[in-house]
Amino acid sequence: MPQGFKPQPTKIDKLVEQAVRHAQKRNPKALDQIFDNLPVKMNKRVLDGAVAVLTQDIDTLAWLCGYFAGEINSASDNDKPNQPIILISKLLIKYKMQPFVDFMPYVGCRISILDVDKFEALPAKVQEVVQAGFHAIEMTDEEMKRMNDALMEEW
C-alpha cells in the first residue's frame, strides 16, 4: 500500500466505533438501533470489537453487560443505583474475568459463568458475592451450548 494511504474503515469498524461511543454515553436506545438490526454473526463481530476496545474501561464494559442482560433498557435506567448485573460484572472484570468469554450476561438479568476453572480460582469472598447475587445452577458444557445457541437465535 502506498505510504500516506490508510485503508477505509469497514462497515464492522464503523459499527464497532458507534457501539463503543453509545456505550460510553450510556445510550441504550442507540445500541438497540445497532444490535436489533444486524444478523447474528455481524452482532457478534460488533460486540467482540466493542469489548476489545473497552477492555481498559471497566465501568463502561460492566454497563454494557447490564445492557445485554436487560438491566438497562432506557436512559432512565442509568439513574438506578446498585444494579446487580453491572456490579457483579464490574467485580468479575476487576478480577480479570472477560465478559462474553469467561462469563456471559443474558437477558433476564442473568450471568452464566463460562470458565468455571477461572471462577473457582477467584478469592472465596468474590465467589460468595457472585453466588449470593444469583441463583447458581450447574450445567454440562452441552447444556450450556444449547442454551447459548437458543439465546443467540433469539438475539
Three-state helix/strand/coil letters over the chain = CCCCCCCCCCHHHHHHHHHHHHHHCCCHHHHHHHHCCCCHHHHHHHHHHHHHHCCCCHHHHHHHHHHHCCCCCCHHHHHCCCCHHHHHHHHHHHCCCCECCCEEEECCCEEEECCHHHHHCCCHHHHHHHHHHCCCCCCCHHHHHHHHHHHHHHC
User: Is residue 68 domain-resident?
Assistant: yes
Q: What is this structure's pTM?
A: 0.81
- State the residue range of the domain holding 38: 11-154
The number of domains in the chain is: 1
What is the per-residue pLDDT for 15?
96
User: Is residue 6 domain-resident?
Assistant: no
What is the per-residue pLDDT for 151?
57
User: Is residue 42 domain-resident?
Assistant: yes
Give the type of residue at 59: D
User: Is residue 1 domain-resident?
Assistant: no
Q: Which residues of the chain have pLDDT under 50?
A: 155
Beta bridge partners of residue 110, listed in sequence order: 106
What is the per-residue pLDDT for 88?
92
What is the per-residue pLDDT for 21?
98
For the record, the C-alpha cell of 22 comes out as: 453509545
For the record, the C-alpha cell of 18 comes out as: 458507534
Provide the b/e sequence for 20-42 (b: ≥16 CB within 10 Å).
bebbeebbbeebeebbeebeeee
What is the per-residue pLDDT for 100?
92
User: Is residue 2 domain-resident?
Assistant: no
User: Is residue 3 domain-resident?
Assistant: no
User: Is residue 142 domain-resident?
Assistant: yes
Question: Tens digits of per-residue pLDDT, 61-98?
Answer: 999 999 999 888 888 888 887 788 999 999 999 999 99
Please list, in sequence order, all residues whose beta carbon lies within 8 angstroms of the beta carbon of residue 92, skipping any fewer than 6 positions away: 99, 102, 103, 111, 126, 130
User: Is residue 48 domain-resident?
Assistant: yes
